[in-house]
Amino acid sequence: MSALEKVRAVRGTAVVVPGNDIDTDRIVPARFLKCVTFDALGPQLFYDERYDADGAPKPHPLNRPGAERARILISGMNFGCGSSREHAPQSIHKAGFRAVIAGSFAEIFFGNATTLGVPCVTLDAEDLAALRAAVEADPEVEVEVDVDARQVRAGEHLFPAHLPDGARGALLEGRWDPLAELLEANEAIEAAAHRLGYLPKGASA
């Protein structure tokens, strides 16, 4: 039985970061990759687009009042492209976002985000534009990413969302972190190792 949280839906306010082909270097600049842990990556999310050389804030959706409370990030096509750095979805997660909605995702980014329990769902172009308009018109509107139903709601708007079966199942069943699954299955792994003859009886895997 998995101890991981079952991710059925994510609700909260949203922030629109517009643009297509937003790559991982924009999401978290390379100079921040020297960190020993991912814990401090939240403030570095989109850092070079949010702050000037002196650290003063620029006009940016993530700098607007209330954006720090948002749980859902909305963007365009091919989000998370570029290098396969795990720091990009980690930065999004550490900044408090628990779901991402876009037109499409780079494959490696999608996988890395899913292993954090962050659903990445896609909308058709017309629906994505309507969602963006709704959020930009009312930044306080509640947005819901319904993983179970594969839908996105924003106020009175309801959009069909796309999420691959494998990722959806892992989120719904609490199997989204393969490392945690492996650690939880230690007894079963040891039993299998002994059964297959890899370890002598009494030895520990």
- DSSP assignment of 95-118 equals TT--EEEES-B-HHHHHHHHTTT-
**pLDDT profile of the chain (205 residues), mean per 10:** 81 98 93 72 92 94 96 98 91 97 97 96 98 97 98 97 96 77 54 64 55
CATH fold of 9-174: Aconitase; domain 4 (3.20.19)
In the structure encoding, which two tokens stand for residue 30, read together?
Answer: 């390379």
The pLDDT value recorded for residue 185 is 46
CB 143 within 8 A of CB 9: no
DSSP reduced 3-state for 121: strand
| Beta bridge partner(s), residue 10 | 145
The pLDDT value recorded for residue 1 is 44
**Antiparallel, parallel or unpaired: β 72-74 and 99-102:** parallel
The pLDDT value recorded for residue 31 is 77
The pLDDT value recorded for residue 4 is 81
The pLDDT value recorded for residue 126 is 98
pTM score, two decimals? 0.85
The pLDDT value recorded for residue 49 is 95
The pLDDT value recorded for residue 50 is 95
Domain ranges of the chain: 9-174, 176-205
